[in-house]
Amino acid sequence: MRTIAIGLLGAGNVGGGVLRILEENRDAIERRLAARLKVHAVAVRDVGRQRHVDVPIDLITDDASAVVADEEVRVVVELIGGIEPARTLVLDALRRGKHVVTANKALLATHGRELFAEAAKHRVNLHFEGAVAGGIPILRTLREGLASDRIVGVRAIVNGTSNYILDSMTRAGLDYDAALSQAQRAGYAEADPALDVGGQDAAQKLALMALLAFGLRVDPIQIPTEGITRVRPFDIAAARELGYVVKSLAVARQTDDGLVLGVHPAFVPQDSILAGVHGAFNAVLVESQALGPSLYFGRGAGMMPTGMAVVSDLVEVCRAVLSPTEGPPPQAFAVIHDAAPLSVDDETCENYLCMHVPNLPGILGRVATCLGRHQVSIKTLKQDPQGVGEPVDMIIRTESVRERNLQAALAEIDSLPDVLAPTHRFRICPPDPLD
């Protein structure tokens, strides 16, 4: 049986998962591949550090460049994360004609052009299933399973940290800070959770999905992105009363004019499948022309799920090593175009608005007049009874309105002297198309 030597860069959480899966599923993998995957070297930053998984001491090195340069290594698995030195190491591996597997969404979302060009030039594979939605094979699905379809939209829960926090707020009634602490204790949030709860992580994943779904390269910085830090227990309770659950969504929609992208918390209907995505699970709902809606659901993070995605990429790459192609390895798209996301100004949806105002006669009139002036129609309005002059949360559900109009109305309302705090606004999603 042939043996293929793997160079592993990084032995943290996901790296530990990769090592465990290669060990525990050795037989299953060999039965599939008729070849042995052998970890030839493991590069780490600190050789002496305690790890999740035992790494044979003779494989460990702190010289990542040497692992990449090692003649025996056929496939490099990059799990260092971040931009440098990951970028330099991956480029070096590709230039040496080595296949690369990575789960580094930040690297691919920001330096994808350079890396994919290098891979194509040297006729090697660059796979990254682990970069989006952990173990759910969503990139493969967009690349292969739906390769003949025209994908028109994606609505996804791809940040496990945000979903875990919102889920704790929804089901255990915690406030944001308590939910974040719990997520950190449970290992679902980093000590610095900014990129997760701020939505940037989801925006990078959305950019990678757009690449494989539409063949469009988008800079994640350009994706309108809103985090979950301003979600309050009050909003979650209000959502529940209206029949909704608050979820952080990454959304892509292809229109005749271009691509609409966004990351934001939204109200999803209580009986929709996305509402049933709990804890750190992820789910991706794809809408395509011929197939219609389809959904992919599973663990979106963690050492074993993400490790599994990485090792499955490794199996695919090793199939290419065992049975090399004459030409360059196939790409998801022959041609990738650069694209800037469309402005969301012309998007329309229903909205939940929560305004913090004193309970005084005339306020409602002023707010309603302002909304009306901007063509924002009110579907329902509710405020809890309070003493006169007491601050009150006024909840308005709008009809489907144009974003441009809503923003203009909110800017005006928030500058009214009576309004005590910026209006809380959440988009309301239509029902799942899976019924």
> Number of residues in contact with a second copy, rule: CB under 8 A?
71
Q: Contacts with a second copy in 331-370 (CB under 8 A)? A: 332-335
* Helical residues (DSSP H) of 97-244, grouped into ranges: 105-121, 138-140, 160-171, 176-185, 194-197, 200-214, 233-242
Q: Which of 141, 168, 225, 248 binds a second copy (CB under 8 A)?
A: 141
Q: Which of 38, 150, 230, 373 binds a second copy (CB under 8 A)?
A: 150
C-alpha pair distances (Å), 220 with each of 116, 142, 276, 340: 17, 19, 27, 10
Residue with tokens 């070096």: 92
Q: Which is nearer to a second copy, 87 or 99 (CB)?
A: 99
The answer to whether 310 touches 15, Cβ cutoff 8 Å, is: no
72: DSSP letter = T
Q: CA 102, CA 80: separation in Å to the nearest integer? A: 9
Q: Which of 12, 233, 293, 358 binds a second copy (CB under 8 A)?
A: 293
Does 187 bind a second copy (CB under 8 A)? Our answer is: no
Q: Which of 48, 56, 327, 365 binds a second copy (CB under 8 A)?
A: 327
Q: CA 45, CA 9: separation in Å to the nearest integer? A: 9
Q: How far is the CB of 412 from a second copy (least distance, A)?
A: 42
Please pick, among 38, 105, 121, 205, the residue that the annotation labels catalytic: 205
Does 116 bind a second copy (CB under 8 A)? Our answer is: no
Q: Which is nearer to a second copy, 335 or 388 (CB)?
A: 335
Q: Contacts with a second copy in 31-70 (CB under 8 A)? A: 31-34
Could you give the count of Cα atoms lying within 13 Å of 138 in the half-sphere of its Cβ? Answer: 33
Q: Which of 17, 81, 224, 341 binds a second copy (CB under 8 A)?
A: 17
Q: CA 191, CA 168: separation in Å to the nearest integer? A: 18
- Choose the binding region for a second copy from 111-119, 181-189, 240-248, 294-302 (rule: CB under 8 A): 294-302
Q: How far is the CB of 290 from a second copy (least distance, A)?
A: 4
Q: Contacts with a second copy in 247-276 (CB under 8 A)? A: 271, 273, 276
Q: Which of 135, 199, 220, 341 binds a second copy (CB under 8 A)?
A: 135
Told to judge if 38 belongs to the known catalytic residues of this protein, a careful annotator would answer no
Q: Which of 58, 326, 361, 389 binds a second copy (CB under 8 A)?
A: 326
- Choose the binding region for a second copy from 42-50, 76-84, 234-242, 290-298 (rule: CB under 8 A): 290-298
Does 288 bind a second copy (CB under 8 A)? Our answer is: yes
CB atoms within 10 A of CB 389: 9
Q: CA 349, CA 414: separation in Å to the nearest integer? A: 20
Q: Tokens in use for 306? A: 């993400």
Q: Which of 82, 330, 391, 431 binds a second copy (CB under 8 A)?
A: 330
The answer to whether 160 touches 186, Cβ cutoff 8 Å, is: no
- Choose the binding region for a second copy from 29-37, 50-58, 111-119, 173-181 (rule: CB under 8 A): 29-37
Q: Contacts with a second copy in 300-319 (CB under 8 A)? A: 304-305, 307-309, 311-312, 314-316, 319
Q: CA 210, CA 223: separation in Å to the nearest integer? A: 11
Single out the residue of 141, 151, 136 nearest to residue 215, CA to CA: 151
Does 185 bind a second copy (CB under 8 A)? Our answer is: no
Q: Which is nearer to a second copy, 228 or 309 (CB)?
A: 309
Give burial (CB, 10 Å; 0-12/13-18/19+) of 380: exposed
Q: CA 360, CA 202: separation in Å to the nearest integer? A: 41
Q: Which is nearer to a second copy, 303 or 363 (CB)?
A: 303
Active-site positions read 205
